[in-house]
Amino acid sequence: MSHEEMRLSLGAYILGGLDAEETRAVEAHLATCAECRAEAEGFEMLPALLDAVPVSRAMALAPAEAPVEAVAPPVLLAKVRARRRVNRLRWGAAAAAVAAAALVGGVALGPVVNPAGPIAVPAPAVTQPAPVARYTLSSADGVQVDVALVRKNWGTELELSCHGMLGEGVYSVWVSNADGGWERAASWSSSAYQGTAVLTGATAQQPSAIRGIQIRDEAQHALASLTIG
């Protein structure tokens, strides 16, 4: 068989569909043809990846239609509009914020490893600037908040990781400027989290203008306070 015929047989070869004689012929050709070897190597991982789909489900896909496009629900777009309006004061949603946690200190997303065959989902093409400063605030009763300040065009983003919240309550993080005025940068309800709350706060001030950070409880009492500079 010619090189071109051999090349076109590589798919069936990788999928194990050739008979013994054809298989031998392809293997003999692979031993001598670098181009076909490279082609075959490009296919090598695919059977293991295909094994991630159980046979019964794969068979059900045979007559399937192309993936459908979904129309974004109005409620989602409304959320976006709402958040855009308050872009000076953003904080994480009440749902647990693992993705945000991965972003504290930059994007740190490990590969997804499938035991049936490795699928590497690459880190996204999202670059997050490194924090310019990190602080830890602790209250007398054990609330601890790790704060990383990230410089943004519009001001400062606060990456917050909050542990040790006792009971249910609404907590907030405040930042002060050089004039001594305090501004709320984030707030969250501890009942939405177990153990650790990870969220994003924001202030229009540049990191260098921030003079203090406070954690406050529902009654606006400062639980912990930090002076900078």
Partner 1 sequence: MPMDEEAVAAMYRDHGAALRRFARGAVGSEQQAEDIVQEAIIRVWKLAPETTVGLRAYLYRTVRNLIVDEYRHQARRPRVVDSLDDGFDRAYDAERIDVLLGRVVMEEALLRLTAEHRQALIALHYRRLSVAEAAEELGVPVGTVKSRCFYALKALRSTLEEMGVEP
Q: What is the footprint of partner 1 within residues 134-193 (CB under 8 A)? A: none
Q: Which does 43 bind (CB under 5 to 8 A by kind): Zn ion, partner 1, none?
A: partner 1
Q: Which is nearer to partner 1, 28 or 121 (CB)?
A: 121
CB of 223 to partner 1, least distance (A): 24
Sole binder of partner 1 in the list 121, 130, 166, 178 (CB under 8 A)? 121
Instruction: Examine residue 129 and tell whether it contacts partner 1 (CB under 8 A).
Output: no
Query: Residue 193 in contact with residue 178, Cβ under 8 Å?
Result: no
Instruction: Examine residue 71 and tell whether it contacts partner 1 (CB under 8 A).
Output: yes
What are the residues whose beta carbons fall under 8 Å from the beta carbon of 194, sequence distance 6 or more? Answer: none
Sole binder of partner 1 in the list 37, 90, 151, 184 (CB under 8 A)? 90
Instruction: Examine residue 100 and tell whether it contacts Zn ion (CB under 5 A).
Output: no
d(CA 48, CA 54): 12
Q: How many CB atoms lie within 10 A of CB 47?
A: 12
Contact positions with Zn ion (CB under 5 A) in 18-77: 33, 36
Sole binder of partner 1 in the list 28, 86, 120, 166 (CB under 8 A)? 120
Instruction: Examine residue 15 and tell whether it contacts partner 1 (CB under 8 A).
Output: yes
Residues forming beta bridges with residue 173, ordered by sequence position: 186, 215
For 139-221, strand residue ranges (E) read 144-152, 155-163, 170-176, 182-189, 197-203, 212-216
Q: Which is nearer to partner 1, 117 or 169 (CB)?
A: 117
Q: Which does 33 bind (CB under 5 to 8 A by kind): partner 1, Zn ion, none?
A: Zn ion
Q: Which is nearer to Zn ion, 3 or 79 (CB)?
A: 3
Task: Give the x-and-dash track for 26-65 against partner 1 (CB under 8 A).
Answer: ----------------xx-xxx-xx-xxxxxxxx-xxxx-
d(CA 128, CA 225): 27
Query: Residue 174 in contact with residue 180, Cβ under 8 Å?
Result: no
CB of 66 to partner 1, least distance (A): 7
Query: Residue 139 in contact with residue 225, Cβ under 8 Å?
Result: no
Q: With 0-12 CB in 10 A as exposed, 13-18 as middle and 19+ as buried, what is 127?
A: exposed
Sole binder of partner 1 in the list 25, 89, 102, 228 (CB under 8 A)? 102
Q: The tokens of 64 are what?
A: 């399937």
What are the residues whose beta carbons fall under 8 Å from the beta carbon of 126, sequence distance 6 or more? Answer: 107
Q: Which residues bind Zn ion (CB under 5 A)?
A: 3, 6, 33, 36
